[in-house]
Structure 1
Amino acid sequence: MDKEFLNVRSLASLLDMSEQTAYKLLREGIIPGRVKVGKSVRFNKEVVLEWLQNGGVTIDCKD
């Protein structure tokens, strides 16, 4: 199964927040599933959705 990755804009939309807030949470290391692609950052959608289902708490996160 192919994994789906989100850019910051898509992540912010999924989380219903501004891109600025998403970048802040990224810098603080709060959102799991981060993958660096060159200078860009992507998020593993499956990991982010699991994180949300756990109430925003990272439990044995597999980046």
Structure 2
Amino acid sequence: MPERYWVIGGEYESTAFDKLVDGTERILGPYRNQDAAKQAWEDIAVATRSICTARFTIVREGSAFA
């Protein structure tokens, strides 16, 4: 099965980045490779750069994270 990548995140309640503000969650993808996901991540990071509590990350489908 080919790998798939997702860009996930949103606006958090504080810079502790432990709780998302309801309704701001974003899931972008799937992307077939990490380069495509990185481009999507860069696009959303630039679009939200004025929001200091916004954070997005790239996740590989099937990977474990805490």
**Fold match by TM threshold 0.5:** no
Higher fraction of strand: 2
Larger C-alpha radius of gyration, 1 or 2?
Answer: 2
Query: Relative contact order (C-alpha < 8 Å, sep 6+): which is higher?
Result: 2
Normalized against structure 1, the TM-score is what? 0.24
Higher fraction of helix: 1
